[in-house]
Copies of this chain bind each other. A is one copy, B any other.
Amino acid sequence: MPHDVAVLGTGMSPFGTWEGASLAPVHDVIDEALEVANVTPDRVDEAWWASLGFGGGQLGNQAAWVSTVPGLENVPAHRVENACASGGFAVRSACQAIRSGSVDVALVVGYERMNDQPGHRRGYWLGVSGETAWERMAGTTFPGVYALMANRHAHEHGTTDEQRAAIAVKNHRFAAKNPNAQFSKEVTMDRVLASPVVADPLRLFDCCGTTDGAAALVLASTEIAQELGREGSRITGSGAATDTLALHERESLTRLDATMNAKEAALAQAGVGIEVIDVAEVHDCFTIAEVLAVEDLGFVEKGEGGSASATGVTDRGGEVVVNPSGGLKGKGHPLGATGVAQIVEVHEQLAGEAGPRQVDGARVGLAHNVGGSGATCAVHVLEGGGA
């Protein structure tokens, strides 16, 4: 399989609120990923840095920061910014570079520090990824955009607040078993439904948090992986797609075409069908986003995403375990880090290294990373890993 890319090593920081304001936690995840991969920094041929450039640190040209890591002094480094799908697109670029033959070992770093700014500045930096002319300038932030989709989904498919709340309950339950998760406590259905409204019908517990976090991957060609005697998981499919930034320019408010197109491309490259996926990390920035994701990825029929969590289809023991890490909802959503962290989780699941979160017999996994309200999407399929 000449197109496969091996996952050699992974690194994850705690997600949550960090002290201080430096980029130092990135050092830690890079060190961890290299150590797990058992390669020295000088083996890294090229690096990709996924970030929205959030907060008060290094806002532009961030990729160059990797040169401060001993051994990475001169490594070419790209910054990729595709809003909340930055991580997925960075992984995709790294895979393309490895498949081109010019890169043997690649480093992908995802990073965001969202809590070093006062609240109104957070909204500013996050808001810039929204569509400008019709949404952002009209005051519609992301909860408002996803609320429009939630209302329309309820109208078309009868999706209820309780069905969405069941997603929050599931993902917080999963997150409670993830030591790196931002939210470590389970929540009850009652608590979700009693939480304050952010953008009707979305309540506080329908929304992900504001998160500091970093994640890293060391990727390599399968030849290098063999040479190093590594039997890690392999990225066997990468798909990506784009859609209009503005919601009103799309055919439907209850479907993300970018998800559907990226998924088709990823499955086609991997040569598998969606039914073989055992475990999936999907982009649940809001509960309605997981509803759309499980439908658009084809885990359930359109209109059945609302009930999928409540009926257990996407829960432990169901057809596919969705967001065993806790997802963006429970683990946290440090924008640029998210797409990288999703691959970390899927890899650990396939490697049987997910501890109390382990999905038994996970052989094939999928990561689904969305930018904006569906303007960009990257999907990756991973296989193997020895679980």
Give the copy number. 2
Beta-carbon contacts of A56-75 to B below 8 Å, as 1s and 0s? 01111101111110001111
The answer on a CB contact under 8 Å between B74 and A82 is no
In the complex, A238→B46 CA distance in Å? 13
Q: Shortest beta-carbon distance, A249 to chain B, in Å?
A: 8
Contacts A102-B3, A103-B96; A74 near B241 (Cβ below 8 A):
yes
A100 at the interface (CB under 8 A from B): yes
Say if the beta carbon of A371 comes within 8 Å of chain B.
yes
Minimum CB–CB distance from A41 to chain B (whole Å) comes to 13
From residue 32 to 68 of chain A, which have CB atoms closer than 8 A to chain B? Answer: 46-47, 52-53, 57-61, 63-68
State whether B132 touches A53 (Cβ < 8 A).
Answer: no
CA distance A72 to B244 in the complex (A): 10
Tell me the bound Cα distance from A77 to B243 in angstroms: 10
Across the interface, name the chain B residue whose C-beta is closest to A125: B60
User: Is there an interface contact between A58 and B245, defined as CB atoms closer than 8 Å?
Assistant: yes
Whether B81 lies near A60 (C-beta < 8 A) is yes
> For this complex, into which size category does the number of interface residues on chain A fall?
35 or more
**Nearest-Cβ distance from residue A162 to partner chain B, whole angstroms:** 32
Residues of B within 8 A of A372 (CB): 60-61, 64
Within 8 A of B (CB), among A244-267: 244-245, 249, 257-258, 261-262, 265
Tell yes or no: A383 within 8 A of B by CB.
no
* Shortest Cβ distance from residue A260 to the other chain B in the assembled complex, whole angstroms: 9
Nearest neighbor of A77 in chain B, beta-carbon distance: B242
Q: Which of these, B64, B83, B96, contacts A100 with CB under 8 Å?
A: B96
Given A58-B131, A64-B82, A68-B244; 15 other pairs, CB 8 A cutoff: A46-B240, A52-B60, A64-B371, A67-B242, A73-B243, A76-B89, A78-B89, A81-B81, A93-B97, A95-B100, A97-B100, A98-B100, A99-B101, A99-B102, A102-B269
Interface residues of A in 84-142 (CB under 8 A from B): 89, 92-93, 95-103, 128-132
CB distance from A101 to the nearest CB of B (A): 7
Hey, which chain B residues are within 8 Å of A75, CB to CB? 241-242
Partner of A67, one of B66, B95, B99, B244: B244
Q: Give Cα A257 to B241, complex, Å.
A: 37
Is A367 located at the chain interface by the 8 A CB criterion?
A: no
A76 touches B262 (CB 8 A): yes
Residues in B neighbouring A344, C-beta threshold 8 A: none
Question: Is A80 at the interface (CB under 8 A from chain B)?
Answer: yes
